[in-house]
Amino acid sequence: MSKVREYRLKARLSQSQLAKKAGIDDRTVRRSEEDQPIQDVKAAAITDTLSEALQTTLTIDDLKIIIYAP
């Protein structure tokens, strides 16, 4: 199980809820959970949203999000 999915479930959020709270597309959340690369700004939005939901400080590295490098 991906770390994004693990923390999302701990926060009791669906993929759609996480996406809406983070201001990103559902597909981006899905891609991050499938260990596919996403933009750094969107990775930061996911990280910030999960940190807030869980009242802790998470980093992109904690979530093992793969950043898209053009």
pLDDT along the chain (70 residues), means of 10: 97 98 98 97 98 98 93
Give CA–CA dist 63/70, Å, rounded. 21
**Which of 69, 66, 49, 68 is CA-nearest to residue 2?**
66
Angstrom CA distances, 1 to 4, 41, 59, stand at: 8, 23, 18
> What pLDDT sits at residue 69?
83
User: With left for phi above 0 and alpha for psi between -120 and 50, is residue 67 left, alpha or beta?
Assistant: beta
Report the pLDDT value the prediction gives residue 44, as an integer from 0 to 100.
98
* Res 70: pLDDT: 74
pLDDT of residue 38: 98
Architecture of the 3-63 domain: Orthogonal Bundle (1.10)
Q: What pLDDT, on a 0 to 100 scale, did the predictor assign at position 34?
A: 97
pLDDT value of residue 58: 98
